[in-house]
Amino acid sequence: MAVSPSRQIALEVLRRVEAEGAYASDVLHAELNASVKPADAALATEITMGVLRWRRLLDFLLERALKKPIERLDLPVALALRMGTYQLRFLEKIPARAAVNESVELVKMARKTSAASLVNAVLRKMASEAKAPAENYLPPNLSPAERLGILHSHPTWMVDRWLSQMGETATVAFLEANNRAPRLSCALHDVSRRDEVIRGLEAAGMRVEPGQLLSAAFAVSGGSPVRTEAFRAGQISIQDEASQAIPLLLGVRAGDRVLDLCAAPGGKTPALMRAAGGKAFVVASDRHTHRLRAMQTQFKRLSLAGAQLVELDAMQSLPFRGDFDRILVDAPCSGTGTLARHPEIRWRLRPEQLRESREQQSRMLRMALAHLARGSRLVYSTCSIEPEENEEVIAEVLESTPSIRRMPVGEAARTLEPFLSPGVDSSTLFTNDGYFRTSPHAHHTDGFFAALLENI
């Protein structure tokens, strides 16, 4: 029996995620080239991301039948079992026979023929139980965090901290959002060409929906925008709406001196460059040369030029003589606001990493503030929902930097208002103490945090 290309691709992507620490979205982008049929690309993506999102629940169900931890199995065998169980439990249009048989064939292709009978037997059991709610199999007396962690497939330590911070209702909503495929949002770079671009995307077979937050954003489904003329011509970019909003918060003016301190992969820099104008001084920095090269490729597609790309370590004193009018510190972080888009993060992150991130982020912010001109603005942002990486960083740095203050919430909200879709209330995107915040369950975007600071 031949194995479908979609399942072969999914197995290879999952193998690289587990064995090499790769990110699924990056590997899928490389694997799903123009030679892959759209239907195969869609199924490969569904299986890959579904297995990563639901891994804990899948392993819980499988280990009941295996009678041992799934980690004891060879990796290809474990992955084939997860893939088969995901299809049986979550993909109603996939016949059970196909899910079982192709998983067996995947094991054979991986030269683990001796495990074929095990995979066949376990998946047949999974097929017989696929309609029963997973909750039926939970042992009694589990803690709330353990129970939700299994049913919604997140580590218990994450669920436990969110329960204490958000309460059960908001936590469950957040967990559910993390297990749904996120909207595929795009940024439109010239709003005057909106109708032309949308017609082209629809002609390519895609469905287009308006943005949730921003007038220059829209969401697509039913195909890949990367394969369209609009993308190749630099008319659109793929970017979550919350991510699109971050550079807009800076309120860059024509001629401003602008620093994008942690710029790679370069999604936010183009908005800063356009707002500053062609003759402005814009610096985009990163500590890795290959990421700066990727940014150059991005700028070329967008027909943008003029930014100074600088390789530097943002945790060290910055090599600039003058100050900047606008600075963006989009700090490296845990990424817990992107668990729907990057589900592998939930299995890699450890609690102690949040404390380590806070130390690094605080140092980066201090280095940047040392080059913020008087009367000027800095935005500190993360795609994290964790206080250690957000409010606690701001509080720590402001305590030791009396010349810097947070911008009032009204002023911060007014900066964003010109870019919002009709009917969107800017105040709903800011907390009472002036922080910009989005969440997957409330805004259907990634979870972003931003603080607007000014040098008084």
Per DSSP, the residues of 87-151 read: HHHH-TTS-HHHHHHHHHHHHHHTT-GGGHHHHHHHHHHHHHHTTS-GGGGPPTT--HHHHHHHH
Residues whose CB is less than 8 angstroms from the CB of residue 177 and which lie 6 or more positions away in sequence, other chains included: 340, 439, 440, 441
Kindly report the number of other CB atoms within 10 A of residue 50's CB atom. Answer: 22
3-class SS of residue 207: strand
Helix (H) or strand (E) holding 209: strand 207-210
At residue 430, φ and ψ (nearest 5 deg) are -130, 140
Active-site positions read 383
Q: pLDDT at position 1, please?
A: 63
How are beta strands 217-221 and 207-210 bridged, if at all? antiparallel
Return the domain boundaries, the chain: 5-137, 184-238, 242-455
Cα–Cα separations (whole angstroms), residue 45 to 13, 24, 89, 175 = 9, 9, 17, 20
Instruction: Burial-class residue 327 by CB neighbours within 10 Å (0-12, 13-18, 19+).
Output: buried
CATH code, 5-137: 1.10.940.10
184-238 sits in which CATH class? Answer: alpha beta
Pair of tokens at residue 422:
């009709």
Q: What is the pLDDT along the chain (456 residues), one digit of tens a residue?
A: 678 999 999 999 999 999 999 999 999 999 998 889 989 999 999 999 999 999 999 999 999 999 999 999 999 999 999 999 999 999 999 999 999 999 999 999 999 999 999 999 999 999 999 999 999 999 999 999 999 999 999 999 999 999 999 999 999 999 999 999 999 999 999 999 999 999 999 999 999 999 999 999 999 999 889 889 999 999 999 999 999 999 999 999 999 999 999 999 899 999 999 999 988 999 999 999 999 999 999 999 999 998 999 999 999 999 998 899 999 999 999 999 999 999 999 999 999 999 999 999 999 999 999 999 999 999 999 999 999 999 999 999 999 999 999 999 888 899 999 999 999 999 899 998 889 999 999 999 999 999 999 999
Kindly report the number of other CB atoms within 10 A of residue 311's CB atom. Answer: 11
CATH code, 242-455: 3.40.50.150
Calculated CA dihedral for residues 40, 45, 47, 51, nearest 10 degrees: 160
* Spatial CA neighbour of 224 closest among 29, 69, 59: 29
Q: pLDDT at position 102, please?
A: 96
pTM, full prediction: 0.95
* Spatial CA neighbour of 50 closest among 179, 182, 220: 179
